[in-house]
Amino acid sequence: MIAVKFSTERKRANEIMNKSKNKYKSRSIMLLGCFTIFCLSSIIILFSIYSMNKVRKESDFITQEILPAKIFSMKIETSLIDQETGIRAYIISENEVFLQSYYLGNKEMQQNYNLLSNLKKNGLNIDRINRLNQQMKFISNFFHEQVLLVENGKSYEAKLNLNKGKHLVDEFSVTDDLLLNEIETNINSSREKVANTQILHKCLLITLGIILIACNFIFFSYIRSNMHEEINKKNKTNEGLQKLISLQEEYIANISHELKTPLNVIFSGIQLFQMYCHKGSLDEKTESINRYLDSMKLNSYRLNKLINNIVDSSKIEAGFFKLNQSNNNIVEVVEEIVMSITNVTDIKGIHITFDTDIEEKIIACDPEKIERIVLNLISNAIKFSDEGDEIFVNFKDKNEFVEISVKDNGIGIKEKDLETIFNRFKQVDKSLSRNSEGSGIGLNLVKSIVELHGGSIYAESEFGKGSKFIVTIPSVKILKENILYNSKLSSSDEMIRVEFSDIYS
């Protein structure tokens, strides 16, 4: 005893240690996953900021430094060309109107000297900028001298130098084109830097993104498999409890109705008998009393059936329901059951037919439970049939198993209800049952009994054209039979009355 106790305690201690280890391992993996995601996210953010700053810097350099320098350089060249054109026109026509463009351009040129010097700060060629500056000054001085020659009446000398002014402007244009090419080179270089930075940024982001996605996938997969499993279990448990509560509520409502209806009939009969007793008219009301006694007996059978179904269903759920199997001719068992209820079907105006493809088939079964199965299925067929309808009970030998089917051409079952009719306490819509009522336990109980035999049951139906219930039972025999229960089926009227108690004329 001490050794067993010690072993149990040791086992519990090991379980606690394993739980602690698993808990510590889970926390470690979660922390590692969070740290990895944080590091990768930080790298992405930092490199994104670096790339954005570099791109912004290059873009600012192009827009604020290089492009203004290019525009300014082109503006100077345009101004010199305008001045040269105005001076040429003035020398030829001696009309001072043409000097307006010269004076306007000359005024701009005074401002451009300082701006041209600022281009040295942009990293452009200093010698080229100095040369442009010297050429601008030399051209400005030359234009000024040409104007003075015309004003002093020496137009002839000025005309001799007309081509020299154009030549000086062309030389300036050549130097300015070199500067523009240098500016264009700087622009292309900056654009290339921006493009390379963007490509590098994109590649790094894709790589880190893939790594981050992989880490997230691994991390969240771990969380889902280890943590969400508990949530899923709780959700499934809650769903099961909700379904169970719903079934219990439906069960209580159905059972309450089924219990109250026959009790009310019996109670009404008792009240009527008491009234007859007080009045002393029992002998006079014999016919009425017998009618009420039959009704009370029928409702007693109905209560008996309901209680039996509840008890047996509970036994099956608890695992206490046992079969008393013996080797029997299943064909004869089913045929006797069908023949025993022909009186009931005749009264209802329903024709019942039994058909078999074999006369004898010995298998292991519980005849009483087989009777209960078949009577229940036939009872359901009668419930959903009208006068003049037919019920077909067929037996087929399938070698490894036997098939018993009960088919009617009554109202049928909707397709959506076929999946639930075997659920415990589940009733098909009562509005479809024109001839009877029920608690919804019967088909579930039938299914359970069939499954205890190792078989199965399913239904086929087309709404408005009838239903067919098919039961399959394995074709096996037992070596050891219980002699006490190895007897033929009695098919007693009592059993039939109990099973058919909820069918009203």
Q: How do residues 246-261 score in pLDDT, each as one tens digit? A: 766 666 666 666 677 7
At 1, is the pLDDT very low, low, confident or very high (cuts 50, 70, 90)?
A: very low
Mark whether 121 and 53 lie in a shared domain. Answer: yes
Q: Domain of 336: which CATH number?
A: 3.30.565.10
Residues 310 and 401 in one domain: no
**CATH number of the domain where residue 287 is located:** 1.10.287
Q: Tell me how many domains the chain contains.
A: 3
Tell me: the pLDDT tens digits for 467-501? 999 999 999 998 877 655 544 544 456 677 777 76
Q: Are residues 196 and 58 in the same domain?
A: yes
Let me know whether 195 and 338 are in one domain: no
Whether the per-residue pLDDT at 130 is higher than 70: the answer is yes
- Of 226, 255, 279, the residue at which a domain comes to its end is 226
CB atoms within 10 A of CB 398: 11
Q: What percent of the chain has pLDDT over 70?
A: 71
Q: Do residue 207 and residue 290 come from a single domain?
A: no
Q: Are residues 377 and 274 in the same domain?
A: no
Residues 426, 294 share a domain: no
Provide the pLDDT for residue 161. Answer: 76
Q: Position 46: which residue type?
A: L
Q: Which residue has the tokens 């029920």?
A: 438
- Half-sphere exposure of residue 329: CA atoms within 13 angstroms, side-chain side: 10
In angstroms, what CA-CA distances link 320 with 232, 304, 314?
32, 20, 9
Closest CA to 372 of 326, 430, 468, 308: 308
Check residues 329 and 226 and name the one with the higher pLDDT. Answer: 329
Q: What is the mean pLDDT of residues 199-210?
A: 78
Residue 4 lies in a domain: no
pLDDT > 50? residue 100: yes
Q: What is the 3-state secondary structure (H, E, C) of 290-309?
A: HHHHHHHHHHHHHHHHHHHH
Determine, yes or no, domain membership for 2: no
Instruction: Name residues whose C-beta falls within 8 Å of residue 88's C-beta, 6 or more positions apart in sequence.
Output: 162, 165, 166
Give me the helix-helix angle, 367-383 and 442-452, nearest 10°: 150
Q: Assess whether 461 and 366 both reside in one domain.
A: yes
Amino acid 116: pLDDT: 58
Q: How confident is the model at residue 332 (pLDDT cuts 50, 70, 90)?
A: very high
Q: Are residues 296 and 338 in the same domain?
A: no
- Is the model's pLDDT at 67 over the cut of 50? yes
| Residue 69 pLDDT | 62
Rounded distance, CA 313 to CA 415, Å? 26
Q: What is the mean pLDDT of residues 164-178?
A: 77
Residue whose token pair is 């002699």? 483
Give pLDDT, residue 90.
Answer: 74
Residues 274 and 343 in one domain: no
Q: Which residue has the tokens 């996210």?
A: 41
Whether pLDDT at 351 is above 90? yes
Q: What is the DSSP string of 327-355?
A: EEEHHHHHHHHHHHTHHHHHHHT-EEEEE
Is pLDDT at 353 greater than 90 in this prediction? yes
Residue 3 lies in a domain: no
Which residues form the domain of 300?
Answer: 239-318
Query: For the chain, what is the radius of gyration of the CA atoms?
Result: 53
| In a domain? residue 433 | yes
Structure token digits, residue 142 = 């030359």
Nearest-angstrom CA–CA distance, 248 and 158: 120
pLDDT tier at 57 (50, 70, 90 boundaries)? low
Rounded to an integer, the average pLDDT of 364-390 is 89
173 within a domain of the structure (yes/no): yes
Residue at which a domain ends, from 266, 289, 318 = 318
Residues 466 and 485 in one domain: yes
Within a domain: 200: yes
Instruction: Please say if the pLDDT value at position 61 is more than 80.
Output: no
Do residues 160 and 287 share a domain? no
Give, in order, the Cα–Cα distances in Å from 314 to each of 204, 318, 424: 67, 6, 11
Q: What is the pTM of this model?
A: 0.51
The predicted model gives 8-16 an average pLDDT of 51
Window from 287-296, 323-332, 360-369, 400-409 with minimum mean pLDDT? 287-296
Most confident of 87-96, 133-142, 380-389, 402-411: 402-411
- Find the Cα–Cα–Cα–Cα dihedral 438, 441, 443, 447, rounded to 10°: -170
Q: What is the per-residue pLDDT across 69-87, written as a single tens digit (0 to 9) for each?
A: 667 667 777 777 777 777 7
pLDDT at 428: 54
Is a pLDDT exceeding 70 seen at residue 424? no
pLDDT for 124 beyond 90: no
pLDDT value for 46: 77
pLDDT tier at 348, thresholds 50, 70, 90: confident
Where a domain ends, among 226, 261, 294? Answer: 226
The overall average pLDDT reported for the chain is: 75
Residue 125 lies inside a defined structural domain of this protein: yes
In a domain, 13, yes or no: no
Report the distance separating Cα 310 and Cα 439, nearest Å.
10
